[in-house]
Chain A
Amino acid sequence: MKSFGILLKNELKLNIRNMNMVIFAVIMPLLVLIVLGFIYGTKPAADGVSYTFMEQSFGALCCISICAGGLMGLPLVVSEYRERKILKRLKVTPVSPAKLLLVEFLIYVIYCVVSMFTLFTAAMLFWKIKIHGSFLLFLGSWLLTMVSTLSIGLLVGGIAKNMKSASVIACILYFPMLIFSGATLPYEVMPVAMQKIISIFPLTQGIQLMKAVFLGLPIENALLPVTIMIAVTLICFGISVKCFKWE
């Protein structure tokens, strides 16, 4: 347990020193929030609805850091450690793969938490957003979306051959999910045909769920996205620990 804390502390320091994630997972979502804030302000999302556009987009904004951490940061850092033979050095120590992966995983959870917190504070102070639905349900669906997306990244990092293939896989996952799942382009402004196609992304499911509970809208079928996300998490975790490659 003590070793877990020390590893987490040092790896987090190294990660922050690298600055990439500070920019992509904390500053970038904040910039998108500010741009949206200047465009839409406190305007309602549509005629006759009681919630604002900013409130409707809040869940999606939280997913920018989830995407950056889970689909870029996490797979790249794990495969970099493999390529640089840092994992080989760790293989001849008593550390377990599960502990190593969990440490790296938690670092990105921390980024997501920080990002969510700064977004919420900024949006509340400047654009007066408030939660119409249940705060706890929102937190739950945010957590589920985050954990399932990060676990996909963990799987990619855990089993990719080298940094190059990890970065190709990461790009294939990252860009379509970031742009089309509703994390940057609002789902609502897309044509209906496109909405249908992108709803296969687990992230889209998560964003829709977060939006519904944030706005207090009726949830028609919460069981499906929840089951999908839990299943993705368990499968990805299982495979990445079981098939972990040191070299």
Chain B
Amino acid sequence: MQTVINVEQLSKSYGNLLAVDKISLSVKCGSVYGLLGANGAGKSTMIECILGTKDPDSGTVSVLGYNSKKDRRRLFQNVGVQFQEGDYQPEIKVSELCEESACLYEAPADWKKLCEQFGIGNKIDHAVKSLSGGERQRLFIVLALIPNPELVFLDELTTGLDAKARRDVWKILSELKSKGLTIFLTSHFMDEVEALCDEICILRNGKAVFFGTVEQAKKASGYENFEDAYLMLSGEEVEKE
């Protein structure tokens, strides 16, 4: 199977803090890859180094065969990104934000249809700042899908969504995956990871402590429940009473 993201020996530090320590990983075409870890474990730094918005201290990154810094403009024709704290112009409306995003791509998806799919179709004339947290989160997933991407990065994709909306998002992402989309995500919800991810990598203080599938994680930790397995592997285990 073809490799979409290939990271080798990536390191990045901020002053004395080693945020990412010699991590290598590869993501296969058409799979869903989950990058897990506690707050501050290095997930966002990792994503930013892959996307080229941060410079790694050492190591190499290739995305769809491109160097994300040098070939930025060609690469991002085919890659969608949703950042944890996406921001927008203060007075902008949903329709304007979508239109502005869509016009940057050669073959964009129909953003009105995407808004309908994600349940914000009736909000397109509203100001983005007037949306609820959950609606805004869905809008930012829509923005990431507007390029009609081969690969999408979703950083904490369903934070702030209610149970029904999360299920809806999973369903749409699974459909897109079956059409060949590769998804790279981070999440703090283990049910979501279990439902979506083919492969996971668990980070702990900037080091990769586990690679494999959800089932392998359960086996390696000896826990039936994936959340328990995650907590044990990530070193966040709750002290037993």
Contact = CB atoms under 8 A, between A and B. Distances in A.
B72 A91 contact: yes
Given A3-B104, A14-B92, A92-B51, A84 B87 contact: yes
B88 A86 contact: yes
B101 A93 contact: yes
Contacts of A6: 99-100, 103
30 contacts: A2-B103, A3-B104, A6-B99, A6-B100, A7-B100, A7-B103, A11-B100, A13-B96, A14-B91, A14-B92, A17-B91, A84-B87, A84-B89, A84-B90, A85-B83, A85-B85, A86-B87, A86-B89, A88-B53, A88-B87, A89-B86, A91-B52, A91-B72, A92-B53, A93-B104, A93-B105, A94-B72, A94-B104, A94-B105, A96-B73
A85 B77 CA distance: 20
Contacts of B91: 14, 17-18
B197 interface: no
Contact of A92 (B81, B87, B88, B90): B81
A223 B73 CA distance: 41
B185 to A, nearest CB: 15
B226 interface: no
Contact of B103 (A3, A14, A89): A3
Given A88-B53, A91-B52, A93-B147, 11 more contacts: A13-B96, A18-B90, A84-B90, A85-B85, A85-B87, A89-B83, A92-B51, A94-B74, A94-B76, A94-B105, A246-B53
A86 B99 CA distance: 15
Interface in B67-112: 72-74, 76-77, 79, 81, 83, 85-92, 96, 99-101, 103-105
Interface residues of B, number: 27
A10 interface: yes
Interface string A1-29: 01100110011011001100000000000
A144 B103 CA distance: 31
Contacts of A244: none
A10 B87 contact: no
For the complex of A and B, list the 10 residue pairs with the smallest distance between their C-beta atoms, beginning with the closest. Answer: A3-B103, A6-B103, A92-B81, A84-B87, A85-B87, A94-B73, A17-B91, A93-B104, A10-B96, A94-B76
A7 B87 CA distance: 17
Interface residues on A, range: 20 to 34
Contacts of A91: 52-53, 72
Contacts of A3: 103-104
Contacts of A88: 53, 83, 87
Contacts of A13: 96
A95 interface: yes
Contacts of B81: 89, 92
A37 to B, nearest CB: 34
A35 to B, nearest CB: 31
A92 B89 contact: no
Nearest to A86: B87
A87 to B, nearest CB: 10
Contacts of B147: 93
A139 to B, nearest CB: 32
A93 B76 contact: yes
Contacts of B74: 94
A94 B77 contact: yes
B53 A10 contact: no
Contacts of A17: 91
A120 interface: no
Contacts of A11: 100
A127 interface: no
A88 B85 CA distance: 11
A69 to B, nearest CB: 18
Interface in A60-116: 81, 84-86, 88-89, 91-96
Contacts of B103: 2-3, 6-7
Interface string B153-183: 0000000000000000000000000000000
A175 to B, nearest CB: 25
Given A6-B103, A86-B88, A92 B79 contact: yes
B99 A10 contact: yes
Which among A7, A84, A94 has the greatest number of chain B C-beta atoms within 10 A? A94
